[in-house]
């Protein structure tokens, strides 16, 4: 007879059926829209920015614990915890919207679909080879990224995050390609890696587009500042 802990772990895994996944995504999008409409009516809540910063510090620490769990022998628990962490990250969207911020395409698409990536790629028994590679790299990236959002920022950290962000995605795509190739003949389940790799590729493209847009905005601001400085000298 399985222990109570084993029963709990089985329950967590079997809870996430396709129907439940569709339902929880629908609830997430509904909550997102509801918060947005409330902010349009009553304005943003200034306290949300502080709460989001504290949440980022907490999640940075939790990401470190998650990384250690992913690297531990407790594979089933680690896979479930990693999947649940993607649901927890919905808070990022809620916080930005409640503070009156803008949710870009990369941010919105990423946070809406990562839970589907882990559902397809990480949770299934026997068809998840190599899941630890991206999960560990992703958790390590989140340790730094949420520390940055929590206040440990600076130009050096920003540059480090650009590298770690792209490296984790590239690593995940390579591992997915290798595992899919190995499963192409006989084993089946290669489509899971194809879905995961496609999503990771989408994140990378959107991330690069976002970085390019930010660089263009900085260039425009610098150019505008130079012009205004020249006008002041002419006075």
For the segment 117-126, what is each residue's pLDDT rounded down to a tens digit?
999 999 998 8
- Return the structure tokens found at 45: 């809540």
Cβ atoms of 115 and 20 within 8 Å: the answer is no
For the segment 148-186, what is each residue's pLDDT rounded down to a tens digit?
999 998 889 999 999 999 999 999 999 999 999 988 877
- In sequence order, what are the residues at sequence separation of 6 or more whose Cβ sits closer than 8 angstroms to the Cβ of residue 181? 190
* Residue range of the domain that includes 180: 4-234
Count: domains in the chain: 1
Dist CA 210 CA 202 (whole Å) = 12
Q: At CB < 8 A and 24+ separation, what contacts does 93-98 make?
A: 93/28, 93/32, 94/31, 94/32, 94/35, 95/48, 95/51, 95/52, 95/55, 96/52, 97/32, 97/35, 97/36, 97/39, 98/35, 98/39, 98/44, 98/45, 98/48
Give me the DSSP letters along 102-133.
---HHHHHHHHHHHHHHHHHTSSTTS-TTHHH
For the segment 53-78, what is each residue's pLDDT rounded down to a tens digit?
999 999 999 999 999 999 999 999 99
- What's the whole-model pTM score? 0.86
- Return the structure tokens found at 113: 């679909």
Average pLDDT, the chain: 89
For the segment 190-230, what is each residue's pLDDT rounded down to a tens digit?
999 999 999 999 999 999 999 999 888 888 877 776 655 55
For residue 2, the model assigns a pLDDT of 35
Residue 74 per-residue DSSP state: -
For residue 9, the model assigns a pLDDT of 39
């Amino acid at each position: 007879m399985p222990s109570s802990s084993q029963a709990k772990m089985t329950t967590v895994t079997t809870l996430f059926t396709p129907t439940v996944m569709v339902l929880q995504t629908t609830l997430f999008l509904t909550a997102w829209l509801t918060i947005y409409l409330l902010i349009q009516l009553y304005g943003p809540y200034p306290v949300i920015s502080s709460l989001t910063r504290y949440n980022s510090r907490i999640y940075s620490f939790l990401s470190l614990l998650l990384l250690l769990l992913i690297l531990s022998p407790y594979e089933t628990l680690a896979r479930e915890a990693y999947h649940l962490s993607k649901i927890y990250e919905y808070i990022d969207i809620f916080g930005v919207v409640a503070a009156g911020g803008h949710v870009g395409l990369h941010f919105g698409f990423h946070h809406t679909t990562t839970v589907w990536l882990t559902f397809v790629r990480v949770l299934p028994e026997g068809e998840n080879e190599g899941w630890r590679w991206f999960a560990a790299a992703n958790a390590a990236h989140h340790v730094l990224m949420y520390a940055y959002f929590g206040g440990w920022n600076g130009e050096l950290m920003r540059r480090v995050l650009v590298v770690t962000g792209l490296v984790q995605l590239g690593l995940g795509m390579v591992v997915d390609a290798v595992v899919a190739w190995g499963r192409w003949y006989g084993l089946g389940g290669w489509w899971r890696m194809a879905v995961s790799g496609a999503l990771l590729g989408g994140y990378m493209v959107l991330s690069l587009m976002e970085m390019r847009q930010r660089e263009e905005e900085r260039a425009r601001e610098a150019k505008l500042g130079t012009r205004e400085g020249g006008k002041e000298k002419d006075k």
